[in-house]
Amino acid sequence: MSAQTFFIGFFGLAAVWFGIVVFRTFSMVRSALALLFSQTALGAMFLSMQAEFLGVLQIMMMATEMSIMAIFMVMFMMDPGGLGEMDMTHQKRLSLSAGIVSFVAAVAVAVFVDWGPVAHTAPDAAQQTVDLGLELLGRSMLIFETAGVTILTAMIAATAVAIQPATWRSKHEH
């Protein structure tokens, strides 16, 4: 077994394990941190697969995203520390069945499909970044620009939804 295979398996296992921990702990802050570790392990897995740019991007993005998520968890949960051991789940059996069925189906597809010849080498990190940059500003420019505009729209929409309505303000001020 090569070192690359070992690290892909190790970080993959870590990502799945921390993903499971997200829903097993009662503490919501620990849930957010477990999700952060899961996503970081995924970033390390990308690095093991020689996708350097995506690996670094994943780790940087998720570190920020999950820190914000942890703050929201503390703001909105009734029991963020988890000391009350509140059960905040429903339809557990159905959810578990759906999760297992989708996992088995996806693994079956992965195992039984003939994926064709596998490439053993990938372009080096610098070449990958050059290629991706040319792709983003060339053939895929419209998709890239659409993604940018969609994020802007989402930011405006999220602010519009979250802003205090004037009726609410007047009701609570008087």
Q: How far is the CB of 149 from other proteins (least distance, A)?
A: 11
Residue 167 sits in the site that holds other proteins (CB under 8 A): no
Q: How far is the CB of 138 from other proteins (least distance, A)?
A: 10
Residue 24 vs 174, nearer CB to other proteins: 24
| Binding residues for other proteins restricted to 70-99, rule: CB under 8 A | 72-73, 75-78, 88-92, 94-96, 98-99
Residue 122 sits in the site that holds other proteins (CB under 8 A): yes
Residue 29 sits in the site that holds other proteins (CB under 8 A): no
Residue 61 sits in the site that holds other proteins (CB under 8 A): yes
Which residue from 31, 37, 44, 59 is in contact with other proteins, where contact means CB under 8 A? Answer: 31
What is the b/e burial string over 2-38, where b = at least 16 CB atoms within 10 angstroms of the residue's CB? eeeeeebeebeebbeebbebbeeeebbbbbbbbbbbb
Residue 79 vs 174, nearer CB to other proteins: 79
Q: How far is the CB of 57 from other proteins (least distance, A)?
A: 7
Longest dimension (CA), the chain: 71
Residue 39 sits in the site that holds other proteins (CB under 8 A): yes
- CA–CA separation, 76 vs 71, rounded Å? 9
CA 118 and chain centroid, separation: 27
Residue 102 vs 174, nearer CB to other proteins: 102
Count CB neighbours of 1 within 10 A.
6
Contact 45, 52 (CB under 8 A): no
Residue 166 sits in the site that holds other proteins (CB under 8 A): no
* Distances, alpha carbon 1 to alpha carbons 7, 12, 24, 138, in Å: 10, 16, 33, 39
